[in-house]
Chain A
Amino acid sequence: MARYIRPEPPFTLDGVDMTRHPARTVRVHRIGAALKILGTSALVGTTAALATTLIHTVVTKARTWHEMFSWWDPTLAFLALAPFALYVWRWDRIKVGWHFRGYHLGDEELYIRTGLLHRSFTVLAYARIQEVNVVSGPIQRRYNLATVTISSAAGHDTIADVDPQTAYDLRDRLTDLARKRRLPV
């Protein structure tokens, strides 16, 4: 079962517990991971089957449909277990990742901690914020979640999957803080 991780030094803030995302983000991430794995394996499987058929046809100079697909062996069906195993692993890790992810609004800066396999911890000064957006996709809407996108001159940072009300509050708070602490251009 899931071993819950405790964030370690480069990813921690002294004396601060970062705000966690709502627990239902785990479900949304699991659905997202399922769709992604399903799509990728369908694409890879189709491409592999087509390429194998083509090479087999060229090499054996097959003439009939039966000959063209004679490379197929029922035991190959076990390959379908690979994406399934991947998904079982992801299922576990997504729950672990939820314990890692978080954000925190400091006095002068915003901290965002994301990722699990590739972890990342971002510090962004309020003064550098240029634009704050709230967006929400179809699956997120089904589970009543929204994403806050924060743009600075360097690019976008996101606080993904929070309650819509929290998202609106964050947006107002961040734009207000950005206005108050704006640097002279």
Chain B
Amino acid sequence: MTQPPLEGRLHPVTPLRRSWAVLAALAGLAYQQHNLFSVGTSGTKDKIDVPLWIACTIVTVIVAAVVSLFITSWRHSRYSLDGDELGYRSGLLFKVRRHCELHHVQSVDIGRPILGRLLGVCTLRVVMSGTTMTLSYLTLHQARTLKSRILAEDTTDERLHQVKTTDLVLALLLDLGTNLKSLVLVAIGVGPYVLSGELFTLSTLVAFVPKIWKLTGRRLFAYSRWSVTRTAEGSYRTDHGMFDTQQYTYRASRIASIEIHQPFLWRRFDWVEVRVAVAGAGRPGVLLPVCPRTVAEKLVLHLLGPDAVAHLHAPIPAPHEARRATLFYKALGYRLGSGYFTAWRGYFFRNSITVCPVARIQTVDVRQGPWQRKLGLASVHACMAGGSSVAAAHRTTAESADLATRLYRASTPR
């Protein structure tokens, strides 16, 4: 079955979106020099007098030049989808041609920033291992056609879970660790003002505001209307965002580990947060910001299989000696078997569970610090693709040697 090649241009709004930054920079530059020039007034001292009509012409010429430059470059840029190859060519002075083969594509996501939503345009992110190709802006119709052609799959979606807004707000309020962190940041920011009483010292707050916003308000906006959808066999898509709608697709075959985390105050509701580490991506991404534990276990069942779910219970507790190595020895534990390695950690309770398929373990590492050596303990780290590691901390030396051997044996196919 061969389909005709698909070609097209980006949306006409693209050049305008790109040129405004240059125009703003030029305007700023002109404003900085405003005491050198005067417009329309004659006979001023120390200033170069520019007649009004010349000023208007200059401004028009500059704006027209910048805009036309961007429009020409937009006219020369086009994407094409022919057979198994997605191409994008752009540039006027520096020509860029990008090609990607469709069987390297890991996921295709449509993002809709707030301004784009008002204009009815969106961006298409094509994620390959290592690089991402972003096409912005496309009309929604173009993006959907491209996406369905690239993925070449039936788009029978099955929504697995939708986070309720009330639950999300309550959960974020009850997330003690993050809230305390942002309070400490506020305290550090306001501290100089409290100590000195000088109003201008409040300017230190400016440095902390982005971080505080990231920890509190932005989480609420980014996490709201969160849903997880199963798109095809082994593909799970998250849609989220109040203003900027974002998508991210996880493939079951690329998953390095799943972390189920429970902040202390969520125990009452038995809510958890689910994070997923993907091979090739930097940090674990959020799969669900808040959900009941049963839903989390259902997702683990979908992503890793039924054996992994049975794994989420009954850890082997840390040995007796570990209580001298760490204050939080009660939370430690691990389990290995039926193709999965699971590790527990936390403070006073077992807050975090990390489960990974042993076939994805890259290296096995036994580590021992000086204090552990005195107590006859060692930690076993299973390093996953992407740099994350799952650790069974503070085991006795004999147990850790045995565990390392078993982990290594399980991780290599026979």
Q: Does A134 contact B (CB under 8 A)?
A: no
Please give, as numbers and ranges, the residues of chain A lying within 8 Å of B386 by CB-CB distance. Answer: 153-154
- Assuming the contacts A117-B369, A120-B366, A124-B363, asked whether A108 and B412 have C-beta atoms less than 8 A apart, the reply is yes
CB <8 Å contact, B397 and A8:
yes
CB <8 Å contact, B383 and A155:
yes
CB <8 Å contact, B401 and A9:
yes
Secondary structure call for the A interface: mixed
Q: In whole angstroms, what is the CA distance A117 to B411 when docked?
A: 28
CB <8 Å contact, A154 and B408:
no
Closest A residue to B388 by beta carbon equals A154
CB <8 Å contact, B400 and A154:
no
- Assuming the contacts A119-B368, A123-B364, asked whether A154 and B384 have C-beta atoms less than 8 A apart, the reply is yes
Q: A149-172 interface mask toward B, CB cutoff 8 Å, 1 = contact, 0 = none?
A: 000111101000000000000000
* Number of A-B pairs, beta carbon distance below 8 Å: 70
- Assuming the contacts A119-B367, A154-B363, asked whether A125 and B279 have C-beta atoms less than 8 A apart, the reply is no
Q: Does A84 contact B (CB under 8 A)?
A: no
The residue that B387 contacts in the complex, of A8, A10, A117, A154, with Cβ under 8 A, is A154
Name 25 interchain pairs, CB-CB below 8 A, sorted by A: A9-B397, A10-B397, A10-B401, A108-B412, A117-B369, A120-B367, A120-B368, A121-B365, A121-B367, A122-B363, A122-B365, A122-B366, A123-B363, A125-B412, A127-B412, A128-B363, A152-B363, A153-B279, A153-B362, A153-B386, A154-B363, A154-B383, A154-B385, A154-B389, A157-B363
- The residue in A118, A123, A125, A157 that gathers the most chain B C-beta atoms within 10 A of its C-beta is A123
- Assuming the contacts A120-B366, A120-B367, asked whether A153 and B397 have C-beta atoms less than 8 A apart, the reply is no
Q: In whole angstroms, what is the CA distance A39 to B156 when docked?
A: 62
Closest B residue to A185 by beta carbon equals B129
Within 8 A of A (CB), among B369-393: 369-370, 373, 378, 383-387, 389
- Assuming the contacts A123-B408, A153-B385, asked whether A10 and B366 have C-beta atoms less than 8 A apart, the reply is yes
- Interface residues of chain A, those whose CB is within 8 Å of chain B, are 8-12, 108-109, 117-125, 127-128, 152-155, 157, 183
- Assuming the contacts A153-B279, A155-B387, asked whether A10 and B362 have C-beta atoms less than 8 A apart, the reply is no
Chain B count of residues within 8 A CB distance of the other chain: 28
Please give, as numbers and ranges, the residues of chain B lying within 8 Å of A10 by CB-CB distance. Answer: 366, 368, 378, 397, 400-401, 404
Closest A residue to B385 by beta carbon equals A153
CB <8 Å contact, B413 and A109:
no
Please give, as numbers and ranges, the residues of chain B lying within 8 Å of A121 by CB-CB distance. Answer: 365-367, 404
Please give, as numbers and ranges, the residues of chain B lying within 8 Å of A119 by CB-CB distance. Answer: 367-368, 373
Chain A nearest CB from B257 CB (Å) reads 12
Closest A residue to B364 by beta carbon equals A123
Secondary structure call for the B interface: mixed
Q: In whole angstroms, what is the CA distance A88 to B363 when docked?
A: 35
Chain A nearest CB from B400 CB (Å) reads 5
Chain B nearest CB from A15 CB (Å) reads 14
In the complex, given contacts A9-B397, A119-B373, A183-B413, what are 6 additional A-B residue pairs having Cβ atoms less than 8 angstroms apart?
A10-B397, A10-B401, A128-B362, A153-B386, A154-B385, A154-B387
CB <8 Å contact, A123 and B383:
no
Q: Does B24 contact A (CB under 8 A)?
A: no
Please give, as numbers and ranges, the residues of chain A lying within 8 Å of B314 by CB-CB distance. Answer: none
Chain A nearest CB from B258 CB (Å) reads 17
CB <8 Å contact, B368 and A152:
no
Chain B nearest CB from A27 CB (Å) reads 25
Q: Does B1 contact A (CB under 8 A)?
A: no
Q: In whole angstroms, what is the CA distance A8 to B362 when docked?
A: 24
CB <8 Å contact, B369 and A118:
yes
Chain B nearest CB from A24 CB (Å) reads 27
Please give, as numbers and ranges, the residues of chain A lying within 8 Å of B199 by CB-CB distance. Answer: none
Q: Does B93 contact A (CB under 8 A)?
A: no
The residue that B408 contacts in the complex, of A8, A9, A109, with Cβ under 8 A, is A109
CB <8 Å contact, A125 and B367:
no
The residue that A154 contacts in the complex, of B362, B378, B398, B413, with Cβ under 8 A, is B362
Please give, as numbers and ranges, the residues of chain B lying within 8 Å of A153 by CB-CB distance. Answer: 279-280, 362, 385-386
Please give, as numbers and ranges, the residues of chain A lying within 8 Å of B368 by CB-CB distance. Answer: 10-11, 118-120
- Assuming the contacts A9-B398, A10-B366, A10-B378, asked whether A125 and B387 have C-beta atoms less than 8 A apart, the reply is no
Chain A nearest CB from B343 CB (Å) reads 16
Please give, as numbers and ranges, the residues of chain A lying within 8 Å of B367 by CB-CB distance. Answer: 118-121
Chain A nearest CB from B279 CB (Å) reads 6
Q: In whole angstroms, what is the CA distance A152 to B156 when docked?
A: 37
- The residue in A10, A109, A157, A183 that gathers the most chain B C-beta atoms within 10 A of its C-beta is A10
